[in-house]
Structure formats: C-alpha cells, structure tokens
Structure 1
Amino acid sequence: MTTLVDAPPAAVAPRMTPRQRLVLTLLLGSQFMLAVDFSILNIALPDIGRSLGFSLGNLQWISTAMMLPSAGFTLLFGRLADIAGRRRMLLAGMALLVVGSFVGGIADSPALLLAARVAQGLASALATPAALSLLTTSLPEGPLREKALGLNGTLISAGFTVGAVLGGLLTDLLSWRWGFFVNIPVGIAVLLAAPAVVPESRGERTKLDVPGAVTVTGGLLALVYGVTAAGQHGWTDPVALSCLAAAALLLVAFWRVELRAKAPLAPVRVLTRRTVSWGNFGGLITFTMESSVVFLLTLYLQQVFGCSPFQTGLAFCGIGVASFLGGLAAPRLIGRYGNRTVLSAGLLLQAVATAALFLIGPGGGGALAVMLAASSAGAFGHLCAIVGYMVTATSGLPDGEQGLATGLASMTQQAGITLGIPVLSAIATARTAATGSVLSGLHAALLADAAIVLAGAALVRAGLRGR
C-alpha cells in the first residue's frame, strides 16, 4: 500500500518590505550622485582650464582636490558615523555637497573652484560610509543584503559612466558649471526625505580614538598626494618620495596605535579577518585598475581616435549597460558559487578584457568594435568583483562594526579611484616619450593594468581559500 506524504513547501525567497525599498532607493540615490561627481568634470577639464585660467599641468588638481579628502577621511568619518549616528553623518555630507556644488558652479577663480571640490570630497567621505552602513544594517545578512549591495555596486559604476556622458553633454550644450549645479536638487531631496524615511542607526558608543584618527588620516592623505605627485612629476620627485615615506611611517604608527588603544578606531580583530582584508584587497585592485582603463580609453578616443567630448561620453554607454547587467547578475552568482569565486572570477574577466584592449589600433571601425566589446566585458567582470568584495568585506560582522567595515570598503573604493590613474598615467607617459607614439604608451599601460589585475585575482583566490 502506498502512503502519500505531503511534499515540503518550496523555500520562499525573502522580499523587501515597502519601507525597506524606500530606504534603499534614497540611499542608492545618494550613492549614485556621489559617484557621478567623480567623473562628471573629467571630460570638461579643458573647458574649465580655459574659463578660469588653469595651466595644463594643474588641471589634474580639479579631480585630485576631490579625491584627496574623499580617500583620506572616509575611514575616520565611517567610525564617527558609528558613534554619532549614521543618518546624521549622511545628512551632514549631503548638506556639504549642496554647498560645495553651489560654490563650484559660481566659481570665478581656480582657488574657489578647488575649495568647492575639496568640500565635495569631504561630503563624499561623510555620506558614502554612512549610507553604506545604513544599507547593511537595514537588511539582514543574506540574499536581501547581497541584492542591495549588487544594486549599490551597479549604481556606483553606472554613476561613473553617467558622469562621463552627462559631463560631455552639459559641456557641449550648456556649460561645465552645470556639472556642479546638477547635484543641488538631488542633495536637497535627500535632505528633505531622509529624516522621515531613514531611521537613525549607530553602533556602540565609545570615545573616538584620536591618535588612530590622526595617523590613519595623515597616512592616507600622504599616500594619495605622493602617488599623485609621482604621476605628475615622476617617481624620483623629492616631494613624492617624501610623501610616500611619510605615508609608510604614519600607517605603521597607526597599526601600532591600534594594538594598544582601549577603544581603537579600527580594531585589529576586524582588520585581521580574512574576509575583511582580502575582500578589501580585491576591491582595491578592481577599482584602481578599472578607473585607469576608463582614463586611458578617454585619452585614446580623444587623442588617437579624434572624438569630441560628447562622443567620448557616448562611447562609454556600453560600459554602463554591461555594468548594469553585472550588478544584476552578481548576487545570483554569489548565491550559486559563493563570494570567493565571484570576486576572483570577476577580477579574472576584468584582466582578460583589459589585455584584449591591446588589440586596438590607430583608427577604423574594427578598432572601435574591439574597444567597445572588450571594455564592456571588463565592466561586467568589474561589477561582479565589486559586489563580491562588498559582500565579502562586510559579512560576518555585528551591526556595531558595520560602520567600520563599510568605512574600510568605501575607503578602498575611493583610494583605488585616486591611486590608479597616476600610476598608469606615468607608465603611458614614459612609453610615449620613449617611442613618440601615444598609442604605444596606452598599450604599455593597458598591459600593466591587466597583469596587476590577474595577479590580484590569483592572490584573492588563494587568500580566501577555505572560506
């Protein structure tokens, strides 16, 4: 006689509540706007230089003035968000972004414009880790959080692409000043909506580790400034070498301070977790090298292919679409294969696609097709690596340490964006000077980029073995 047994009910995938969707939309919107700011002025740099009287050698400071404080203060402000309140820090950052954007839009001198960019960088350091930790503490660890981090990574990468397209469009049709003004309505909307939508969140109340804050912030500022100066003046420049030496000393001092501090800024037990250390290492590699690829391809399209700023921005639309698809696919891939596999595989795809860019030539439809296909494939891998590193670097930690974990992840992202371009630019410049060919310089930098990402993929795979 056959006995009928009811089959177990199929597992129901968790779903976000309407309130969680609203919080997620607001937080992702602020992250997207901050990402746009990192690239929206890049294509407009020549126009800004002519308008305000920047010399050619000083144009890079329009970007660096934002990147320096953004990378240098993110870890400190991430920890402050744990102590003082994450929503409060998000609102402070968005308020500063609105003020800095208004000042930048009306700037009539290089000094005023650079001050506005510094304000935008500080705003990013305030708002980015706060928004990210609000996101991770609003959702339980698992599929919902992975999906949210996937969307976050997608919008961050899409923000860089949209910034390039929007910057070219605004510069051609209106003025570079609208690259600043476009932030103001978004910032005001977040300021008005966040108090009613996003609940306040904070970790355990402790005293701020002032020696740790001073050493890590000083070390990061010296590191970013040193690498930037080396990219501009060469790796034998005394100022660059002095800054890099100071960075090494300060970061070593920071580690020693944290070993002895009663309430450390970055508890060593967190920094020594394999998920935190190797996750952030993978994030540093992917952001450093992909931001460099976008920079090198901008040079290729404008100086070799002869594209206008707007055409250059449009050429990056394929990267934007691939980034969107990568962000959607990554959480599903993580659910099936795990963080370690997705992070290392994303880096591997990024490396192979970057190496394929060596095939681009001086012109013609074939060269453009290769560039579009390879850069799109690299962007898909890049987004998989971003989501993989974010999930890895923030997993297995209590809510009280999420501000620190997301501060580290945000610092990794912004330091990577800042550090990659000077290094690869120096390689391209040296090769161009030796051969007299801009294309030869770009090829050398792209191969170096691919080799670094490939080595990073292997190290991450080995470092996370057994997770």
Structure 2
Amino acid sequence: MSPTPAPRRRIALAIILGSQLMMTLDTSIITTALPHVQRQFGFSQSGLSWVQNAYVLAFGGLLLLGARAGDLLGRRRVFLAGIVLFTAASLAAGLAQSGGWLIIARTVQGLAAALAVPSTLALLVADYPQPGARAKVIALYSGVIGAGGSVGIVIGGVFTDLLSWRWGMLVNVPIGIAIALLAPRFLAETERRSGTFDLGGALTSTTGMTALVYGFIQAAAAGWSAPSTVISLGLGVVLLVAFVLIEHRAPQPITPLRLFRSVERSGSYAGRILIVGATFSTFYFLSQYLQEVLHLSALQTGFAYVPITGMFFAMVYAIRPLQDRLGRPALLVASLVIALVGMAWLSRISTGSSYFPDVLLPLLVIGIGQGIAIILMTQGGVAAVEPQDAGAASGLVNVAHQLGGSLGIAILTIAYARASSPTDPTAGFHAAFTGADVFFLIALILAVVVAVADRRASRLADLPAT
C-alpha cells in the first residue's frame, strides 16, 4: 500500500534534505581534521587545500552537466546514480593510504555529488508547486545548505578526536545505502526527454574553473609572476570565455544564457559566490586558528561551531516574518551589513584572543547575516524560471555555492601566505579574515545595485504604455 500524498511528500522532503546535508557536510567535514591529515600524509599548505578543492571543484564544475543529465534521463534516476557513486567514493576516501589516493577519492565524491545535487532542488520545486509551500521548503533547504558547513566541522571534530578523521568519510556509507533504498519508493520520477549532452560546455566550464583555482593556489605558493600561475590563470580565462561562446551557439546548452537575463537571478549567483567564498574560507582558516593558536583539540574545535550552526537554522524560521515586513531587497542588504560587521569583528583576533568573546560573538553575528542572505539568494536563483529550466537554474545555484568555496580558499590562501610571520602566528589568519570581509563588502555593494535596478524596473513596468 503506497503512502498518502502528504506523508509521501514529507518523507521525500526528508530524503532530499538528508542527501543534500550529506553532500554539503563533505565540503567541510574534513576541515577540523586537516592538521591531522597534513601530518599523516605530509601535505604542504597549498597541497593541503586540494583535500578540500578536489571535492569542491569536481562538484561545482560538473553540476551543470549533472543538471542536464537529470533533465534528459530522469531526475530520480540520475539522483540515485549519484548517491550510489558517492557512497562508494566515501568508502574509498575513508580507507585512503596516501595523499594522492585521498585526493582522487575526494574528486570522485565531487563528481557523484554533481550528479545527485541538481536533482534535489528540482525535485523539491516540482513537489511543491504552491508559492507559499515552495518558499517554506526552499528556506528549509537553504538552511540545510547554510548550516551544513558548520555541522560538518562539528561532526568532523567529534570523529577526529574520539575515533579518526576517516570516520568523517565512512559515515556516508550507511546513510547513502539508506537513501538509495528509500528514494525509488518516495521520490517521483520525471519524464525522460530527447536531447543531447553539451559536452563542449561541460568540458570548458570544468577545466576553466579548475585552471582558475589552480592559478590562485600557485600564486600563493610560487608568486604571481611564476609561469605556472600565469599559464593557469590565462588558460582559465580563455576556457571560460570559450564556455560562454559555446553556450551561446549550442542548440541545447547545459547553461541556457537566458537565465542571466533576470537581474535578480544574476545578482543571486554572483552574490552567492562571494558570501560562500567568505564563509567557507573563514571556517577553513578558523579551524586551524583554534587548534594552532588557541590550542583547542579537534573535538573542542568542532563544538566551537555549534552556536553558529544553531543560528543558521534559527534564520530559517525568522526569515518569513522579516521578509514580509521589509521585503526581499531591503532584507538582503540588511543581512549583508550584519555579516560584514561580524566578519570585521572576527578579523581583530590576536594571540591574546580567547574563544569567548573574541570568536563566539562574531560567529553569532555572521550566522545571522549569512544565514538570511543564503536563503534569499537561493530563492532569487530559481525565481520565475520556466519548468524546462528548473534543473539548470538549481544547478547554477549549487555551482555558485561550490565555486565560491573553492575560489574563496584559493584567493584567501594568498592573503594568508603573504601575511604569515614567524613572530606573529595570527598575522596570516588576520589577513585571511580581512579578505573575507572584503568579499562581504563587494556582495553588499552588488545587493544594493540589484535592489536599485529592480526598483527601477518595477517603476518602468508600472508606467502606462505610450
């Protein structure tokens, strides 16, 4: 006997949120364990960043292809394939015997997540056609994404201190098996469509983003004038320009350029890159600061993120009345001001700082601002899209999220490396956090520009036709 529609939708929502949380956790679950991984496999500081970026780049670079695969082959079918592959790759990462093995396994995890994640938001949007219900579940979905990074650090700290960093990877295995067994019963399949894969677009976007991030990482390690830096950055720009030209001419592009005609959607994608770049990089460097400067254990470092995790989830319930009262553009601007203040506060840390109040209170302020902003930008990224573009739009939301994380770490690693001093162990962290503050400032300026453009467009639309 099949479940009634309401219980079925609730279970389907739990499956979607659970899978999204699992794959969001993997962007950060190893963050707390990085000092342990570095000692075990002998990574340099720039090499260590690839433990994060291998996952994030494969994830972000192939998301658009995963979204297209879901549109053509059926979203549930592609979602299941991604979950099965992700489970197997997590097992391989947990059993890694060398740094190269770990990075390859993390890359396959990213590929698998790129197959599964675009279908989650598309299935969610299709399951909740009513605007009110859809806004509510998108807020919950966004809360899971926003809090997933800090939840991953908490869980990673627990595993690293009490068991091993490897359990941060191995825990995905039973969860993935459960999702793979439940999904065929509770997730509705979408119709298969005829069409072709835009392999040229997928190849140029993935290799272009990888080359760009690699160039920034090389700039931190070898300098801006190093041949490897110049070649990587130049190649990245050329490939991304080629990607835009391919998408303009392709009969069935993986990224329909019409999605960028909306000022709100384009601003949401760009703003998401900036605020995720700031937040994800902050988690990356703050975890090292707490262990190396404040001498917290991995377990204590994990629990240090519990308050900000709670703040992220609290914003899911606070955003609806705030949005009704202030409107989306004004609330977005206000949230970024709050995040900017919190980040500026955190950037004042020193060797004499303590967790309370120098770290905890700024984190709470950042949690309020970033928690609201990420929900609003998720809504904006899929606003007013046609059904046939739902997969591509949701893919772009996640591409912006993953690209922001990888670019943020790559760029702020440069600031960290240039400012690091043997006489001041906090100089590099101070520079990285100041750089994250610049990201929030640019996002704030962008939000103001989009709000002004949106208001102007609304006024023009209200004018009588002549």
TM-score > 0.5 by shorter chain: yes
| Aligned equivalent of 1:346 | 335
**Cα offset, 1:397, TM superposition:** 0.8
Partner-residue secondary structure (3-state), 1:359: coil
Which amino acid in 2 is paired with 1:461?
Answer: V
Distance 1:55 1:163, change over 3 A: same
Partner deviation per Cα, 1:99-122 (whole Å, 9 max, x = no partner): 011112222233322221111111
For 1:247-326, list aligned pairs within 5 A: 247-326=236-315
| Aligned equivalent of 1:183 | 172
Which amino acid in 1 is paired with 2:205?
Answer: V
Matched, 1:438 2:443: no
Q: CA–CA distance in 2 between the matches of 1:76 and 1:61?
A: 22
Partner deviation per Cα, 1:351-386 (whole Å, 9 max, x = no partner): 111011133332355x63131011111012111111
Partner deviation per Cα, 1:314-349 (whole Å, 9 max, x = no partner): 111111111111222224433443332333322221
Distance 1:451 1:45, change over 3 A: closer
**Cα offset, 1:63, TM superposition:** 1.7
**Cα offset, 1:203, TM superposition:** 7.7
**Cα offset, 1:174, TM superposition:** 1.2
Contact 2:268/2:377 (<8 A) preserved: yes
Which amino acid in 2 is paired with 1:81?
Answer: G
**Cα offset, 1:202, TM superposition:** 5.0
**Cα offset, 1:53, TM superposition:** 5.0
**Cα offset, 1:274, TM superposition:** 1.2
Q: CA–CA distance in 1 between the matches of 2:409 and 2:44?
A: 19
Aligned residues: 450
Contact 1:202/1:400 (<8 A) preserved: no
Distance 1:314 1:212, change over 3 A: same
**Cα offset, 1:211, TM superposition:** 2.6
Contact 1:330/1:383 (<8 A) preserved: no
Distance 1:346 1:204, change over 3 A: farther
Matched, 1:219 2:179: no
Q: Which moved more, 1:405-414 or 1:172-181?
A: 172-181
Q: CA–CA distance in 1 between the matches of 2:220 and 2:141?
A: 30
| Aligned equivalent of 1:156 | 145
Q: CA–CA distance in 1 between the matches of 2:313 and 2:130?
A: 23
Q: CA–CA distance in 2 between the matches of 1:75 and 1:240?
A: 27
Which one of the candidate residues 447, 451, 464 is aligned to 2:438? 451
Contact 2:213/2:410 (<8 A) preserved: no
Distance 1:26 1:422, change over 3 A: same
Which amino acid in 1 is paired with 2:172?
Answer: N
Which one of the candidate residues 428, 437, 445 is aligned to 2:416? 428
Q: CA–CA distance in 1 between the matches of 2:257 and 2:295?
A: 51
Runs ≥4 in structure 1, deviation > 6 angstroms? none
Partner-residue secondary structure (3-state), 1:39: coil
Partner-residue secondary structure (3-state), 2:435: helix
Q: CA–CA distance in 2 between the matches of 1:362 and 1:52?
A: 28
Q: Identity across aligned pairs (percent)? A: 35
Give unmatched runs, 5+ long, in structure 2: 459-466
Partner deviation per Cα, 1:407-443 (whole Å, 9 max, x = no partner): 000000011111111211211221224x842323322
Partner deviation per Cα, 1:206-232 (whole Å, 9 max, x = no partner): 322233223222222222322333334
For 1:13-412, list aligned pairs within 5 A: 17-52=6-41, 54=43, 58-140=47-129, 142-201=131-190, 205-363=194-352, 365=354, 368-412=356-400
Distance 1:61 1:449, change over 3 A: closer
Contact 1:71/1:221 (<8 A) preserved: no
Contact 2:216/2:233 (<8 A) preserved: yes
Which amino acid in 1 is paired with 2:160?
Answer: T
Which amino acid in 2 is paired with 1:349?
Answer: I
Contact 1:339/1:392 (<8 A) preserved: no
Give the structure-2-normalised TM-score: 0.91
**Cα offset, 1:57, TM superposition:** 5.2
Contact 1:360/1:368 (<8 A) preserved: no
Contact 1:331/1:387 (<8 A) preserved: no
**Cα offset, 1:67, TM superposition:** 1.7
Q: CA–CA distance in 1 between the matches of 2:217 and 2:115?
A: 23
Contact 2:58/2:206 (<8 A) preserved: no
Contact 1:27/1:135 (<8 A) preserved: yes
Q: CA–CA distance in 2 between the matches of 1:114 and 1:441?
A: 25
Distance 1:50 1:440, change over 3 A: closer
Distance 1:174 1:429, change over 3 A: same
Distance 1:48 1:292, change over 3 A: closer
Give the aligned CA root-mean-square deviation in angstroms. Answer: 2.1
Q: Which moved more, 1:243-252 or 1:109-118?
A: 109-118
Q: CA–CA distance in 1 between the matches of 2:322 and 2:245?
A: 39
Give unmatched runs, 5+ long, in structure 1: 1-15
**Cα offset, 1:278, TM superposition:** 0.7
Partner-residue secondary structure (3-state), 1:390: helix
Partner-residue secondary structure (3-state), 1:305: coil
